[in-house]
Copies of this chain bind each other. A is one copy, B any other.
């Protein structure tokens, strides 16, 4: 069976009002079970209840929380069985390094991957969005330009190949660090997702959903960067980046690296 879908959310998705993004999650679950994985949080109390409330009335009644305090628990049978008949997983926010270090290369990760491979939905918000990257952003400067050496990256779950995801993007002024990440290796397409905004990925095709924008940073045609020869405190120098600002309804082809505008008559 073909891979399922990813819903990559930039954090702070609407949980009380129109709930555009959560509705899309619910629609794709078709009444099936959603595993809410709160592992990214050091202090998970309240996360699960918040999502139970947020999903109420949307037809998502079979919600199960998975949390692991220590990595060793990722082998526990009772943490794995909820995935068996699940229709989707939702990674909540927190620290993406907790997600990758606690569940990376464990049976829980393999359960997530199998669910995806049999056509399931993998959604994640904030840290849960970042972790879907192949190489993921962990920490970096906000509200300042990128300086060489200031970025902390790590291997992510790799559900989305050839891309690096950042979240809370415009709200936390993370342009500099995403440009810095792309400068390291333009093979990775930079994807900056605003709050209350999501990328819905099916195969190699993405669509934007929500109130903000998604920034696509394409370094393929870049002609110069000082990232290898600069000093640690030097500001980044990087020429000929192609950038796209995508809004609700806009699409993007990850293989062709080309955007497609929302059809006007279907825009809402």
Interface status of A224 (Cβ within 8 A of chain B): yes
> Which A residues between 161 and 207 are near B, CB-CB below 8 angstroms?
169-173, 175-176, 179, 194, 197
Cβ-defined contact, B241 with A213, below 8 A:
no
Cβ-defined contact, A144 with B212, below 8 A:
yes
Residues in B with CB closer than 8 Å to A238 are 244-245
Query: How many of these chains are in the complex?
Result: 2
Interface status of A229 (Cβ within 8 A of chain B): yes
- Complex Cα distance A168/B244, Å? 23
Cβ-defined contact, A236 with B259, below 8 A:
no
Residues in B with CB closer than 8 Å to A172 are 143, 173
> Which A residues between 206 and 225 are near B, CB-CB below 8 angstroms?
211-213, 224
Residues in B with CB closer than 8 Å to A236 are 213, 245, 247
Residues in B with CB closer than 8 Å to A234 are 247-248
- Complex Cα distance A197/B247, Å? 31
Return the chain B residue nearest A142 by Cβ.
B173
> Which A residues between 38 and 87 are near B, CB-CB below 8 angstroms?
none
A-B contact pairs, 17 of them (CB 8 A): A143-B143, A143-B171, A143-B173, A145-B170, A146-B213, A173-B173, A211-B235, A213-B235, A213-B237, A226-B247, A226-B261, A234-B247, A237-B245, A237-B247, A239-B244, A239-B261, A240-B244
Residues of A within 8 A of B (CB): 143-146, 169-173, 175-176, 179, 194, 197, 211-213, 224, 226, 229-230, 234-248, 250, 259, 261-262, 264
